[in-house]
Structure 1
Amino acid sequence: MTVTSAGTLAALIALVALMTLVVRPRGSSTVDFYLAGQRVGVATNALAICGDYFSAASFLGVAAAVYVSGLDGVWYAVGFAAGFVPVLLFVAAPLRRFGEFSIPDFLGRRLASERVRLVAVGVVQIVILSYLIPQAVGSGITWQLLVGRGLPGLSAYETGVVLSTAVVAGLVAFGGMRGTTWTQAIQFLLLLGALVWLAVAVAGSGFHYSSAVAELSAEPLANPAPGDAGWYLRPEDNQIDPGAPALFGQPGAAYGPLAQFALILTLVLGTAGLPHVMNRYFTSPTGTAARMTTVWVIGLAGLFYALAVMLGTAARQQIAAAVDDHPWLEELTVDGVLLVPEHALPVLGRIYGGDSGLAVVAAGALVAVMSTIAGLLLAAAASWGHDVYERHINPRATETQAVWAGRASTAFVAVAAGALAIAMEPRELTPAVPSIVAAMVTWAFAIAGSALTPVFVLAIWWRGTTAAGATAGMTVGGLVSVSMFVLGALPVGPGLGETLMTPTLVAAPLAALVTWLVSRRTAPPDDVERQWLVLHGTAADRHAERLARLTLASLQQPTRRRSGRTARRREGRDAHG
């Protein structure tokens, strides 16, 4: 580890810790700890959502997917960015107007059911763990490349996992949502700055995207594979036209037609069910602010993923051409192609900026990991601390006790995610996917999009949704998606395995259908009309409804007083015979 790399990492951690200290919540209110007092502005919240959402899968994974499979890797960028369009149209404003702490909290109150709340808590925890593990894997990969050494008794990969989860868990427990919001906003700006710097450096060297795609498509696409005599380059099979070579600039290098559609649908639907992203909308002051925040996020996502696709393409062309001038690349490549695709951006940074460039890009990767881990741990804290501890374990908990329960849950979830990430070290995996980090995150999107999003959207937009229907829908969506994952891990043949690993195409419609069928046979909550007014009514509608209730209460008040006096007189007569 060079002095430059060490200084960059130390400065990054110091900046994050300082920001957390400055803006930490001053009180012990759960609204402050979980929701930052619901006073986060549009621009700040948009930057924080980007810091939350643009994870290791976005920074390392998208570029790695493009590096390995060309155009098929671009589907990750399309799906990740397009996921906020349905959030803008169907979710953001109604969700904030209803105003709760978390997705389980929203579903529990909307459907007047503690069973729904607890089932949603279980699904949310599975999604959070599925999302946390690849973040920890990404931190281990980055530490392994940047530092190359570990703490006593730990490998370099394990050290990266342990340090990233431990540091972020401590900062989240200390700073809560307020501290995390500002650090995530700053972290996203640092992450975007690293991408912009690298894009400028690549473009300044004479790189042109269109000509690079044409050059890379001039010969069949091949990637490293293990053989009897060591690693060699194996041509990729064309999933659309069997027998024809797979090319960088054409679809089919990783996914067939159905698998491509299933991947994009999984990412688009999954976004609306991600707990750490949706919880951020509860921090906005109004529904309008939540909607405008989403508009900002869509614009920033377009810029971010355009840069990631460009740099993944540049890495495929430039790294192969730089092997002769940079002997250190021989340890990382096979005939000019990287053994670990997630190394694409850090290696590109070292080519153009030396150790300083490597430090900048690696720091950006660790920023992405830390920022997303922070959001996921806060979502876990809200789910365990508010939805389970406050409502079921200790309903009489004080604000201080509830906050400490949330802090304790961050430590528990961080330990679980770190242990699973160490157990799933990438060298022990042999996935048939472009990027292990991006693929693992896709599993979280699939569970969220299959089990949570259909029920979530129906609860917002269909009055007839019932607690029994929501419980059945979440259960079916979750079980079907996990079952398809298990089948996809088996040798089921080319094309079908990739489709099974993105099960939302099947599981989400089933979950929606089951929710509808069961809801048709059961009764919705009694106050569904009042809830509908909160979700979808205008400010004027809600103001008129409040005036009507106040007027009705004032008209009933004298009657209540007379009824009370009459009842007391009757009681007196009964007492005196």
Structure 2
Amino acid sequence: MELATIDWVMIGAYMLFSLVIGIYVARKAGKNSTQYFAAGKNMPWWLLGISMVATTFSTDTPNLVANIVRTDGVAGNWVWWAFLLTGMLTVFVYAHLWKRSGVLTDVEFYELRYSGKMAAFLRGFRAVYLGFVFNVVIMATVSLAAIKIAGVLMGLSPVETVVITGAVTVIYSSLGGLRGVLLTDLFQFFLAIGGSFIAAYVALNHPDVGGFEGLLQHKDVVSKLNILPDFSDPSQAIGIFIIPLAVQWWSVYYPGAEPGGGGYIAQRMFAAKDENNSIAAVFFFNAAHYALRPWPWIIVGLCSIIVFPDVAAMKEAFPDAASVADDDMGYAAMLTFIPTGWLGVVVASLTAAYMSTISTHLNWGSSYLVNDFYQRFIRPESSEKELVMVGRLSTVFLMIVAGFLALAMQNALDSFQILLQIGAGTGLLFILRWFWWRINAGSEIAAMVISFVIAMYFQFFHVHTGLPELTGWQEIVIGVIITTIGWVSATYMIRPTSKETLFRFYEIARPGGPGWERVLNMAENEGKKVKKYKDEAWRVPQGIFCMVLACVAVYGTLFATGYWIYGNWILAGFITVVSIVASMMLFKAWRKLINMNPDDLYE
């Protein structure tokens, strides 16, 4: 299969459009670091929400979903569906706290919340670890997916794919900063969504599939259709459903679904014009991410089972991509049946998905390296112009390193599992650090080190010990238990954060709750008055209530869509009603939450 001239024109036009936006906003983005990394902190919720959706709609995401569907069926998606709980907790409990903090990055938060040399070390180390090491792995995983898709659809070699797409992305990202990323994401969102629906339509109409009826009745697909796992098979139910819902969502750090918020999600919150826009942006992202996008990907993955029943069939069909062929190539393989003209749109949409994710990670990672490492530790006297210049240079550097790493990787699902394991056990700390004064910088350092050591042990050393082989979920549970015990122990073994820092943090963030009563009592006993709003209620109980309603509404929409597709009208109708009722209750509860934000002056 070869792309026609019209297809190449569409792809080229999209890339040119992205470059024009980067050039157009370059001057404004270059004014200072706040403009470059936070778009002036004056962005509306809808633009930020769409940007987050576009960012998480990467080339590796449909590949990952296709891989899951082919190996574990539709129910296997619970390994990432469970993160909706994390997302909605961030929306209704943490979004307003992040916006109140006033920081430029979530890593800067460490020296707002903690004190002393440990806090400084933590900020600097996390800036390099997340901004460079962790971030480069994510971008390499995304680039791997682009390599597989380009190899199948465009006949490009891995090196050609990385050089062409990486060059365009790094140019507009380095020029336009976050504002350029947001504006290109707006267009990329609609292009990517449209492309996924075209892909699903074409896959369903493949002669071997025969539409919905042929798909849903095919002997190789029927066993893959269940939205809930087979509970008669405990090994499957535990691994893909029980552990994700009971443990994974609150205990594991993963980019885009950080417990308590963080990363590029936090970056978008910082860019919002106010607290309400911050909350609305993250809500829109989670609703669209889990309710709007999955089914087109799932449908393509199911169709690929019929057309390419195993990896050998894909290797035979695409000999040029045989070296990287795996189940995660099922999505790209099905795109080869899209006709000329429409194929250009779909490839452009996948290019958009890739560039959106990479551009966000470039700007986000660069913000850490510049704000939390270069300015904080190397040149505190840096001018704003210098910071922007270093930001642009570090953007280019990150892209180069990620490109080389992508050429050495093989499988997106393996990378997903490794990242989950590295973050296992740290999530509870990120949730509690806002509401329990005793957590300190040492707690975070212990959690980070222990979880990383455990991940490396399982990845590289466990197989050589002679001990029984463990499944992915068993490794995560062990990691969570050991890491949690480790950081809680460190919390009590290490000196608490200084009282002055705790007082200042409480005044700025106003987290409230019983976890800060001792700090307020200390201030009162020492005759130090900690500023607070009059009659400010603790928002967490109402926030958790909103979180539960939001999860019911979004999960209801996700499941109802699936059962409408399956033709199960009664169950689909019932779940639709439940989702609508939950949405109505959420609207009322959300208004109450907003009204709990006091406008009175400090006492």
Q: Distance in 1 between matches of 2:314 and 2:452?
A: 46
* Amino acid in the other structure paired with 1:50: V
Change (3 A) 1:130 1:508: farther
**268, 274, 278: which one aligns with 1:290:** 278
Matched, 1:399 2:384: yes
Matches within 5 A, 1:274-353: 275-301=263-289, 302-318=291-307, 331-332=317-318, 339-351=325-337, 353=338
2:239 corresponds in structure 1 to: 259
* Amino acid in the other structure paired with 1:165: G
Residues 267 and 364 of structure 2 are in contact (CA less than 8 Å); yes or no, is this contact kept in structure 1?
A: yes
Matched, 1:119 2:93: no
Matched, 1:94 2:67: no
Residues 216 and 249 of structure 1 are in contact (CA less than 8 Å); yes or no, is this contact kept in structure 2?
A: no
* Amino acid in the other structure paired with 1:514: G
* Amino acid in the other structure paired with 1:145: V
Matched, 1:137 2:144: yes
Q: Distance in 2 between matches of 1:87 and 1:116?
A: 23
* Amino acid in the other structure paired with 1:34: F
Matched, 1:367 2:352: yes
Change (3 A) 1:5 1:344: farther
2:135 corresponds in structure 1 to: 128
Change (3 A) 1:472 1:294: same
Change (3 A) 1:296 1:134: same
* Amino acid in the other structure paired with 1:216: D
1:475 Cα deviation after fit: 2.0
Q: Distance in 2 between matches of 1:471 and 1:100?
A: 21
* Amino acid in the other structure paired with 2:8: A
Change (3 A) 1:106 1:250: same
Change (3 A) 1:485 1:405: same
Change (3 A) 1:44 1:417: same
Q: Distance in 2 between matches of 1:181 and 1:220?
A: 37
Q: Distance in 2 between matches of 1:64 and 1:254?
A: 21
1:492 Cα deviation after fit: 7.1
Q: Distance in 2 between matches of 1:31 and 1:21?
A: 18
* Amino acid in the other structure paired with 1:128: N
Change (3 A) 1:448 1:289: farther
1:178 Cα deviation after fit: 0.6
Q: Secondary structure at the match of 2:369?
A: helix
Percent identity reads 17
Q: What whole-Å deviation, never above 9, does each CA across 1:491-533 have from its counterpart, x for those lacking one?
A: 9799714346x63x33344444433333334222323244224
Q: Secondary structure at the match of 2:64?
A: helix
Looking at CA atoms only, which structure, 1 or 2, has the larger radius of gyration? 1
- Can you give the 5+ residue segments of structure 2 that lack an aligned partner in the other structure? 512-531, 537-596
Name whichever of 302-311 and 396-405 sits farther off.
302-311
Q: Secondary structure at the match of 1:282?
A: helix
Change (3 A) 1:126 1:87: farther
Change (3 A) 1:446 1:170: farther
Matched, 1:46 2:11: no
Name whichever of 56-65 and 341-350 sits farther off.
341-350
1:194 Cα deviation after fit: 0.7
**13, 16, 19: which one aligns with 2:15:** 13
Q: Distance in 2 between matches of 1:37 and 1:89?
A: 24
* Amino acid in the other structure paired with 2:422: I
Q: What whole-Å deviation, never above 9, does each CA across 1:186-207 have from its counterpart, x for those lacking one?
A: 2122111111223344567763
Q: Distance in 2 between matches of 1:405 and 1:490?
A: 44
2:185 corresponds in structure 1 to: 184
Q: What whole-Å deviation, never above 9, does each CA across 1:362-383 have from its counterpart, x for those lacking one?
A: 3322222211111111121111
Matches within 5 A, 1:489-568: 496-499=470-473, 503=476, 505-521=477-493, 522-525=495-498, 526-536=500-510, 547-548=602-603
Matched, 1:471 2:445: yes
2:412 corresponds in structure 1 to: 437
1:280 Cα deviation after fit: 1.9
**389, 403, 421: which one aligns with 2:374:** 389
Q: Secondary structure at the match of 1:148?
A: coil
Residues 463 and 469 of structure 2 are in contact (CA less than 8 Å); yes or no, is this contact kept in structure 1?
A: no
Change (3 A) 1:464 1:220: closer
Residues 44 and 277 of structure 2 are in contact (CA less than 8 Å); yes or no, is this contact kept in structure 1?
A: yes
* Amino acid in the other structure paired with 1:483: Y
Aligned length: 496
Q: Secondary structure at the match of 2:43?
A: coil
Q: Distance in 2 between matches of 1:489 and 1:180?
A: 42
* Amino acid in the other structure paired with 2:263: P
Change (3 A) 1:405 1:517: same
* Amino acid in the other structure paired with 2:36: F
Alignment root-mean-square deviation, CA: 3.7
1:20 Cα deviation after fit: 2.1
